[in-house]
Amino acid sequence: MMISKDEIYRLLDKLETNIADDLESQQLDFKQWITRSFDDNIKLMLRMAVCMANGGGGSVVFGVADKVKGRSNAILGVPQDVEITILQKRIYEKTDPHLTPVFEDIVIPEGTKRLLLMNVYPGMPPYTTTDGSATIRQGKDCIPYTGSLRRKMMDSSSQMDFTAEIIHEDWKSLFSHSAMERVREIMSRERVDEKLLSLSDEDLLRSIGALKDNYFTKGSLLLVGKPEAISRLIPQHKWSYRKMISDTDYSLRDDGTHAIPVALYELERYIAVDNPMVTVESGLVHPEFSTYPTIALREALLNAFGHRDYRMIGTIMLKQYKDKLILTNPGEFVGGITPQNILHHPPVARNNHLMDLLDRLKLVNRSNLGVSRIFRSLLIEGKEPPIYREIGSNIELTFISSPLNKDFKNLIDYMAKENHHIDVDHLLILQYLIRHEEIDTSIAADVAQRSMEQARELLSRMHNEFNLLESIGRGKGRYFTLSRNAYEMLKGELKYERQQSLDKEVVKIRILSILKTDRSLTNKEIRQLTGMNRKQVQRLIQELEPDGVKTIGRGAGTKYIYSP
């Protein structure tokens, strides 16, 4: 947590009896302004910005000599003509990845009457200067960030959990009754044990580990804290909603710092306004299906709040377009998770304590079933699967607006009655074949995020046991199409959309995601993936060139690669 200006003023008063070095800590340093050279100060700020960023963030006060006792002797100040924007620009340009510290002026009566407070927010280390040098904050020192130290820090990073930090304030003054009511509503909907629901608020919080030594943790605050308390103690936490009318304009916006259950309620409420329902007549029961399934939305939103990087400044942003939803949250994938393996990767949590709290309240599932539930709730209705991307230091999740495919759902219901369990892997392959003529083992492995051997087994089972696929060819040339039985069940509304290409944006995202795995693609392979013809693929590649796609080879040997 960054130190406030008020706290700096309180610390400056202590300089009468202490030297500034005594007041320094892991998150705070004092530095004297170097009067002989502006560039020397830039170099000092660069070193301190990198040091603090690698150490988890911190604050540096410039204009104070750290070895001198007496306020008037220690506070020398910073020249009045030093421009903050120039400092930010120089630090941004000279750091890799780029750092953008936040500077604030501190007005004092001594010296030049001005100090500079530089706040360096945490990100995803390691950070270096552009010449490759790096230090890391340990205690009150900036020490060389060597290779062995980086490995050691990475090994221990799983033990560092921002949401487990204790807040040493009266928890009752931070507690939000409305947030707790939202928690109980979700628990009741998820049919949590009545004994847990019958507990008082305090006993319930204690039973799930939200109170540590009679104090809130930051995870507890995110769960049932007042918005003003969250803004003060976890200023990084923020959610935003935009009803988009184009890529750059919106007709409605809202922002908040509410606790997660309240934020979830508000965001779901906004989505529901433009989330059309379809009623399907089925005997005496008329089930309703929304464009964006509630299960998928709730899991996605809770995952965004539960897994975001709370050390980073940024907002959980939900943009609702006419034809899609885009959800972004600050923080990169961790523990080896990528968009290409997210469906089956073992669970990895950045915020273990927060996820434990959400899990104990039955708000999330910690067995990595959340992602699978998102996929399944969409696919089982014949809708497009979600699209995950990592953009800079953010994770983006896109839901494509898709109507209910009644024939597809009827097929899945029929398979269930025949005691054939259709899982997400099978649904992904069926969904692919709805829009394409054929699928081979290599494409099935990409689509289902499985190994080649697992993909072979999937296709074989769908062919031999489920009778959903037909096998054509042998050996490496073997591929599969929908079986006649599957086609007959799907052809009502579907009409076997072999020639219907995917939405161009979805196509681009999928082709890029494959190429970014260091795999090359040929024109033929992209035609098989997208249903496009040769000329359409060539135009598509031209449009992807600004994104780093390049063409290598000529004629039959032409391949496309990702080389930014």
Q: What percent of the chain has pLDDT over 70?
A: 91
b/e burial code for range 190-221 (CB count within 10 A of at least 16 → b): eebeeebeeeeeeebbeebebbbeeebbbbbb
Which pLDDT band, with edges at 50, 70 and 90, does 365 fall under?
low
Question: Is the confidence at residue 492, as pLDDT, over 60?
Answer: no
More confident residue, 283 or 426: 426
Share of residues in the chain with pLDDT > 90 (%): 59
Provide the pLDDT confidence category of residue 150 given band limits of 50, 70 and 90. low
Decide: residue 334, CB within 10 A, 0-12 exposed, 13-18 middle, 19+ buried: middle
Higher confidence at residue 489 or residue 342?
Answer: 342
Strand pairing report for 316-320 and 239-244: parallel
Residue 526 has which token pair?
């992209």
Per-residue pLDDT at 283 exceeds 80 = no
Give the residue-averaged pLDDT of 76-103.
92
pLDDT band at 281 (very low <50, low <70, confident <90, very high): low
Locate tokens 């003023």: which residue?
9
3-class DSSP assignment, residue 368: coil
**pLDDT higher than threshold 70 for residue 493:** no
Instruction: Enumerate residues 6+ apart whose C-beta is below 8 A from 149.
Output: 136, 143
Q: Are 298 and 264 in contact (CB under 8 A)?
A: yes
The pLDDT of residue 518 is 75
Q: Which of 27-31, 120-124, 440-444 has the lowest mean pLDDT?
A: 120-124
pLDDT value of residue 436? 81
Cis peptide before 101 (omega within 30 of 0): no
Give, rounded to a whole angstrom, the gap between the first and last alpha carbons of the chain: 36
- Range from 331-345, 384-398, 438-452 carrying the lowest mean pLDDT: 331-345
Check residue 346 and report its DSSP letter: P
Nearest to 161 by CA among 131, 122, 132, 196: 122
Please count the other Cβ atoms lying within 10 Å of the Cβ belonging to residue 492: 12
Mean pLDDT, rounded, of the chain:
88
pLDDT band at 159 (very low <50, low <70, confident <90, very high): very low
Pick the closest to residue 319 from 262, 259, 371, 245 (CA basis).
Answer: 245
pLDDT number for residue 285: 60
d(CA 49, CA 98): 10
In this prediction, residues 383-403 reach a mean pLDDT of 92
Pick 321 or 349 by higher pLDDT: 321
> Would you say residue 410 has pLDDT above 70?
yes
- Spell out the domains of the chain, with CATH numbers in brackets: 5-156 (3.30.950.30), 161-402 (3.30.565.60), 406-494 (1.10.10.10), 504-562 (1.10.10.10)
The DSSP result for 79-126, as a single string, is -TT--HHHHHHHHHHTEES---PEEEEEE-SSTTSEEEEEEE---SS-
Q: What one-letter code names the amino acid at 21?
A: D
Of 235 and 191, the one with more pLDDT: 235
pLDDT of the residue at 284: 57
Dump pLDDT digits (tens) for 455-466: 999 999 999 999
Q: Is the pLDDT of residue 338 over 80?
A: yes
Cα angle 420-422-427, degrees, rounded to a multiple of 5 = 150
pLDDT of residue 502: 43
Q: What is the per-residue pLDDT for 239?
A: 97
Q: What is the mean pLDDT of residues 363-389?
A: 85
Q: How does 553-563 read in b/e, with b if 16+ C-beta sit within 10 Å?
A: eeeeeeebebe
Instruction: Confirm if 56 and 310 have CB atoms less than 8 A apart.
Output: no
Instruction: Specify the length of the chain in residues.
Output: 564
Q: Is 343 helix (H, G, I), strand (E, B) or coil?
A: coil
Which of 151-165, 212-226, 486-500, 518-532 has the weakest average pLDDT? 486-500
Predicted local confidence at residue 141, as pLDDT:
92
What one-character DSSP code corresponds to residue 279?
A: E
| Cα–Cα distance for residue pair 448/316, rounded to 1 Å | 28
CA–CA separation, 130 and 363 (whole Å): 44
What mean pLDDT comes out for the span 337-342? 92
Whether residue 292 contacts residue 271, with contact meaning beta carbons closer than 8 Å, is answered with yes
User: What pLDDT band is residue 74 in, cutting at 50, 70 and 90?
Assistant: very high
Highest average pLDDT, of 205-209, 330-334, 360-364, comes from 205-209
Burial of residue 86 (CB within 10 Å: 0-12, 13-18, 19+) is: exposed
Mean pLDDT value across residues 56-76: 93
pLDDT given at position 149:
67
Q: How far is CA 404 from CA 75, 139, 384, 412, in A?
A: 68, 57, 10, 13
- The residue with greater pLDDT, 525 or 507, is 525
Provide the pLDDT for residue 153.
Answer: 56
Residue 473 has pLDDT above 80, yes or no: no
